[in-house]
Structure formats: structure tokens, C-alpha cells
Chain A
């Protein structure tokens, strides 16, 4: 089955620790995205990538980093500089070209501080 796989489902971070969230897709999509969702709020864009080895900051990139070494994979690292990391993190992908290509989401990672 084609889809987007995020892991782990739940993650706990200690003070001063970096953690990495995995996102893998087998949809052959060029574009991939990371969003953060806080309780009762909409999705906010952290980073996006339109092609391998290229990515751009979204609206709330501070304290996060990404890489895009392979088309299928777009891991997100939450660094110790992100002081309020507790949130629901969603990875998505879409076909690069075409107005009407919607995003498809993985089932998310819930990150909490210990």
C-alpha cells in the first residue's frame, strides 16, 4: 500500500536533548512537509522540501532542522533550542507540480517533554 509512515507514534524528550522524527513515503511524491499542531489550533508549517537536497523554512522553523537526502525520506530534528516542543507533529507529501495536487498526511508523532 502506498502511504506515508511516521515514527515513532509517541516520543518523550529530556531537557537539552535533540530528538529526530522519521517520515518515509512510497508515493513517489517530490514535495514533503512538516507541520506542528498545538491543541485546538491549526497546522503551522515548519519546513518543506520540493526536491531532494533542497528545503525551505516555513513559518516556525526556529529550533528545528531537516534533511532531504532521499526522495522518500524527510526526517525532522527537534533541537534543544526549541523551548516548547510539546505538540503533534505531522508529515505530509504532495506531487510537486500541479495546482490541484492535495497533501497526504502520515498519522503523526506526539512529542512531549519529560
Chain B
């Protein structure tokens, strides 16, 4: 079983739409959680950390559900520039080893 699983998509949404992705993790000892954005043929870039209390940054909101072992990312008022692959990342037990999901592809259309 993979440590981190994501729906690969693609999610095709019109500009201005609200879209949400989930990511499930298998290890209950997971300690910290992140969302990264990866553009085509580029390196991943940190979008936001996902705290137990949730995290909001402008149009982006991340939530953590420890009981069900998933994290979510909500994007409001989608822009064309939000088109990318969104990677879920989990760190277990404070060891410096990170597990990456395969990513969810988002296409925002005019």
C-alpha cells in the first residue's frame, strides 16, 4: 500500500470555480503535511503547510483530518494560472523522510 495516495485527475474546471482535492495517508504516525505545486517540467514548489487547525492563504485553504487520515486542498475562484499538478507530501515521525503522492492535475479553462 502506498504511503500517500491522490486522485490523479485531471480536474477540468472553468475559471472562477471552486475545486477541492483530497489526499489520504496510511501511517497514523504521520506528523507534518504539505501541499506542493508542480508546473509541467518544473520542480515542485511549496504551496502551504497543513496544520491540525487548518491553514488558509488567500484563495487556498488546507485542512487535516487525522481521524480519517486525509488532507484536503480547496481552491476558490480558480485562475488560469492555477493550472498545475498538486502534490501531497507527508513527513512521518519527525525523521527527515518525506513521502510524496503522485499528484492531482488541475486544468482551469477560460
Question: Nearest chain-B residue to A88 (Cβ)?
Answer: B41
**Interface residue count on the A side (C-beta < 8 Å):** 25
Binary per-residue interface labels of chain A (31-48) against chain B in the complex, 1 for a CB within 8 Å, 0 otherwise: 101010000111101001
Contact of A102 with B103 in the complex, beta carbons under 8 Å: no
Chain B residue numbers with a CB within 8 Å of A41 are 102
Query: With an 8 A cutoff between CB atoms, is A104 at the interface?
Result: yes
Query: With an 8 A cutoff between CB atoms, is A96 at the interface?
Result: yes
Chain-A contact segment, one of B12-20, B60-68, B71-79, B92-100: B92-100
| Interface band, chain B | 20 to 34
Chain B residue numbers with a CB within 8 Å of A90 are 43-44
**A43-B44, A102-B46 are known contacts. Are A96 and B100 too (CB-CB below 8 A)?**
no
Binary per-residue interface labels of chain B (81-108) against chain A in the complex, 1 for a CB within 8 Å, 0 otherwise: 0000001010100101110111100000
Chain A residue numbers with a CB within 8 Å of B32 are 99-100
Interface residues in A25-62 by Cβ distance below 8 A to B read 31, 33, 35, 40-43, 45, 48, 50, 58
Query: With an 8 A cutoff between CB atoms, is A72 at the interface?
Result: no
Contact of B102 with A105 in the complex, beta carbons under 8 Å: no
Nearest first, the 8 closest Cβ-Cβ pairs linking A and B are: A42-B102, A105-B43, A99-B32, A43-B100, A31-B96, A99-B31, A42-B100, A107-B43
**29 interchain pairs, CB-CB under 8 A:** A31-B96, A35-B100, A40-B8, A40-B102, A41-B102, A42-B87, A42-B100, A42-B102, A42-B103, A43-B44, A48-B96, A48-B97, A58-B97, A88-B41, A90-B43, A96-B96, A98-B94, A99-B31, A99-B32, A99-B94, A100-B32, A100-B51, A102-B46, A102-B89, A103-B46, A103-B98, A104-B46, A108-B42, A108-B43
Which residues of chain B have a CB within 8 Å of any CB of chain A? 8, 31-32, 34, 41-46, 49, 51, 87, 89, 91, 94, 96-98, 100-103
